[in-house]
Amino acid sequence: MPYKPVAFLATGAIAVLIVAGCSKGSDQSTTTTSTTATSAPAAMSTTAASTAMSGAAPQGDPARGKTIFSANCSACHGATGTEGGVGPSLKNEKSRKNYAQTIAWIHNPTPPMPKLWPSPLNDKDVQDVAAYVQSL
C-alpha cells in the first residue's frame, strides 16, 4: 500500500495539466519531422516522469532541446517558442509548469496540441525539449 501517495500525486499532476492546457481553439495538427527516430516504451516514460517529480531525475539538455523544438514545435509556438501563433507563447512557461509537469504535458497533451511522443519524439527528446521550454 505504500504506492497510494505516488499514485495520488501522479493523478493530481495530470489533473492540473489537463486544466492548465492549451486553450487556443485552432488546429495544431501540422506535420513535422523529428531529429530522431527511436522511441522508448511507455513504462520507461512513467518511471522517468515520476522520478522527475521527486526531483531525482537529471534535467534535459536545453541546447539539444532547442534544435528538436525548432524541428517539431516552432510551426505552432514560433521560432523561439515565445512568439506564439497557432499555439500559445511558451515564454515564462516555468511559472505555470515545473520540469516534470512540462514532460508530462508533452507526453500527454490535450487538443489542439498534437501528441508527438512516443513518435516522432522519444523520452530523451521530450526531456530536452522540456528543459528548453523551462529556459524560455
pLDDT tens-digit series, residues 4-13: 665 555 555 5
The confidence band for 110, taking pLDDT boundaries of 50, 70 and 90, is very high
pTM of the predicted model over 0.75: no
Is the domain covering 4-135 a CATH 3.40.50.300 domain?
no
The domain locations on the chain are 4-135
Contact partners, residue 37, CB within 8 Å, separation at least 6: 120
Q: How many CB atoms lie within 10 A of CB 124?
A: 17
CA distance 104 to 71: 20
Instruction: Give the residue among 106, 105, 131 at the shortest CA–CA distance from 119.
Output: 106
Strand, helix or coil for residue 4: helix
Cβ proximity of 66 and 18 under 8 Å:
no
